[in-house]
A and B are shown apart, each in its own frame.
Chain A
Amino acid sequence: MGILTKKDLKLITDPLADNNPITVQVLGICSALAVTAQLKASIVMAISVMFVLAAGNVVISSMRNIIPPKIRIIVQLVIAATLVIIVDQVLKAYSYNLSKQLSVFVGLIITNCIIMGRFEAFALANTPWKSFLDGIGNAAGYGIILVIVAFFRELLGSGSVLGFKVLGNPIEKTGVYAYGYENNGFMLLAPMALITLGVIIWVQRSRNSSLIEEN
């Protein structure tokens, strides 16, 4: 990788596992619970967050020397909101179907704590290129967890993956349903997303003990 130094690469790979925004930094939990009942919705959400976070990080980072520290949070919020609204409007005009799928998430993206968190913690202190990589990395780390949680929720809750009924038809009792298997409707509700997330965090910490805080 010619343009990426080792340090740059770390910006992308770190948030995927050992510094994951959801499981380690515990940011962005709210949207992780809200949209993970379906795999497709989670993927749309992950891509949108990646766009907003990378673009927003670059904007904030290139303005970092002129933003007044007293109102920096407001400035960050305005920039995130502006980006999201522009994207939404352009999609509405040129790709109406996609924008319909996205409309639910517009509010969720603006208030996503990962976005504010990365603006504040990284973009304000680093160059635009590094901030861009940080944005991509963190959004990818966020996306991975979303996809894992959504995969299990959709599979166990609705018996499907990406809308395909992989376990058979629950009403006509085909596939595994013929043997008395039932979908767990509880998986579709937000509390089970939190429990799934908890299991992921447990697995991750038991494999990497350096993540466990000392009392």
Chain B
Amino acid sequence: MSRNTESNTYTVLFAVAMVIIVGSLLAFVAQSLKGKIAENKRIEKQQNILYAMGVNENEKGSVNFIPKDKVDADFSKYIVKQYVIKGTTATENDKAYLIDLKREAAKAKKPSYTRKLPLFVGEKDNKTYYIIPVRGKGLWDAIWGYIALNKDLIVQGVYFDDAGETPGLGGNIKERFFMDEFIGEHIFKGNTFEGITVFKGNDDPKSLNKTDCRVDAMAGATITGNGVTAMIKKGLQMYVPYLETLKQ
């Protein structure tokens, strides 16, 4: 080959050409798939919300969402109201599930901004569920979840997910054995808000004691567990003023 691949001009030209080709290729792929990806994310979010209130197809031990094609119908069937909460006032808003918690948290850094808190009210078998989305930090990346409470503010179900926790360790927060421990757990101790602590120590491995506001931690995932504790505490805390009004 006669081309001199060692020359500086060639090297620079090659680098420029490569960046342009790769850049436009990635931009093209991202643009053309954007709609479909957003759609998938919306469906996932609705599946997660429904999962927390017990609308799922769980079999023994494994997590099973309702099928994709049933999501739209079921979401409007079971989620009867969606609210945006500011302080103690709740405004109805049927697009509340589109609120981006990450963006809200960033905006809320300005003291003048009152954070919009989405709340979903679900109804199933004559029981009312209040589903609260939460978001926090794990070991490697973001973690988030949905917590379904009943009128007495006792946890009825949760769904957790993560962006990049270690599979088999912190990644286990989205497994049944961990999430099911939260069912029935109290978030108030007496009249004070306590949250739920992911607690190390083997005093209650089956999480039978529901009033201690504690669930059993996972081995090898201390930091993710602490992240879950902090996420629940911080996330639910913001709703406490409104939740207290429900109790009356």
Interface residue ranges, A against B (CB under 8 Å): 34-35, 37-38, 40-41, 65-71, 74-75, 78, 82, 85-86, 89-90, 92-94, 96, 103-104, 153-154, 157-158, 163, 171, 185, 188-189
Chain B interface: which size bin?
Answer: 20 to 34
How far is A68 from B7 in the complex, measured between Cα atoms in Å? 8
- Picked from B6, B11, B29, B169, the residue with its CB within 8 Å of the CB of A37 is B169
Is A35 touching B22 in the complex (CB atoms < 8 A)?
no
Q: A66 with B36: in contact, given A103-B163, A185-B220, A189-B220 (CB under 8 Å)?
A: no
Contact B219 A71 (CB under 8 A): no
Q: Is B106 among interface residues, defined by CB-CB distance under 8 A?
A: no
Identify the closest chain B residue to A38 (Cβ): B168
Q: Quick check: is B223 within 8 A (CB to CB) of the other chain?
A: no
Distance, CA A167 to CA B140, complexed state (A): 31
Task: Encode B166-177 as 1/0 by CB contact (under 8 A) with A.
Answer: 111101000000
Instruction: Spell out B's residues near A (CB within 8 Å).
Output: 1, 3, 5-6, 10-11, 14-15, 18, 22, 25-26, 29-30, 33, 36-37, 40, 43-44, 62, 163-169, 171, 205-206, 219-220
Contact partners of A74 in chain B: CB under 8 A: 15
User: Contacting A69 at CB < 8 Å: which of B5, B30, B44?
Assistant: B5
Q: Indicate if the CB atoms of B26 and A96 lie closer than 8 Å.
A: no
CA–CA, A35 and B25, complex, Å: 30
Given the complex, which residues of A lie within 8 Å of B15, measured CB to CB?
68, 71, 74
Chain B residues near A158: list those with CB within 8 A.
Answer: 168
User: In the bound complex, do residue B168 and residue A78 qualify as a contact, i.e. CB atoms below 8 Å apart?
Assistant: no
User: Are B14 and A71 interface neighbours, CB within 8 A?
Assistant: yes
Closest chain B CB from A151 CB (angstroms):
13
Check if B30 sits within 8 Å of A89, measured CB to CB: yes
User: How many angstroms from the CA of A177 to the CA of B33 in the assembled complex?
Assistant: 49
Cβ–Cβ contact B40 & A92, under 8 A: yes
- 5 other A-B residue contacts (CB within 8 Å) besides A66-B3, A104-B171: A37-B220, A38-B167, A86-B25, A86-B26, A92-B33
Which listed residue (B6, B10, B18, B168) contacts A188, Cβ 8 A? Answer: B168
Q: How far is the CB of B24 from the nearest CB of chain A, in Å?
A: 11
> A34-B166, A103-B163 known; A94 and B11 CB under 8 Å?
no
A171 close to B163 (CB less than 8 A): no
Cα distance, A157 to B3, chains bound together (Å): 57
The answer on a CB contact under 8 Å between A35 and B29 is: no
- Check A188/B33 contact, CB under 8 A, given A85-B26, A103-B163, A104-B167: no
